Amino acid sequence: MRLTWLVLAGAMALPALLPQPAVASPPRFDTAEGAEGQPDQARGWDDPPGIEDEDVALFIPRAVLLLPRLVLSAVFWLPKQGFKLIDHYHLVERTERILFFDEAHNFGWMPLVSYQSGYGPTGGAKVFHNALFGHDESLSVSGVYGGRYPRVIA
């Protein structure tokens, strides 16, 4: 255990021991003509805006609603991150490509997983076709394994 801590401390101290590259300093604006390019002058205000009457009037409602805002932000943070993940990795489209064999989503399969208190866990698959001969006929075959009665084909 001590060896682990020593290795971890050494790994953390290693960057401090290595020579650091020289960093160029930012350009200076000492002349009067260079003052226009300074970051604090980027908006071109003669007088920067101060506190307006609307800000004073909205202070109390904003203070009262701060706690509900923080609570709702905390509650919905995880679902928001989940939706970002689904959108970023295109999980819906990938799942459709795995579960359906055609572009019209008529022919495909679906996994079956269930648990019943008297029978136990079961798992299987269902293969289906919703437009078998082109007139909305359907056919499905499913098979599961597990539980009290291990094999069921329907």
pLDDT digits (tens, 9 = 90+) for 84-131: 999 999 999 999 999 999 999 999 999 999 998 888 888 999 999 998
Look at residue 134 in the predicted model and tell me its pLDDT.
Answer: 82
Helix (H) / strand (E) containing 96: helix 91-99
Please count the structural domains in the chain.
Answer: 2
Question: Does residue 107 sit in the same domain as residue 149?
Answer: yes
**Residue 28: is it exposed, middle or buried by C-beta count within 10 angstroms (0-12/13-18/19+)?**
exposed
d(CA 35, CA 30): 7
Question: Does residue 105 sit in the same domain as residue 144?
Answer: yes
Is 83 inside any structural domain?
A: yes
d(CA 65, CA 141): 55
Share of the chain above pLDDT 70, in %: 68
The answer to whether residue 145 scores a pLDDT higher than 90 is no
d(CA 113, CA 72): 34
d(CA 48, CA 143): 72
Two tokens, residue 70: 């923080």
Question: Does residue 149 sit in the same domain as residue 108?
Answer: yes
Q: Are 140 and 128 in contact (CB under 8 A)?
A: yes
Its domain, for residue 60, covers 54-89
Q: Rg for the chain (alpha carbons), in Å?
A: 32
pTM: 0.51
Question: Does residue 85 sit in the same domain as residue 106?
Answer: no
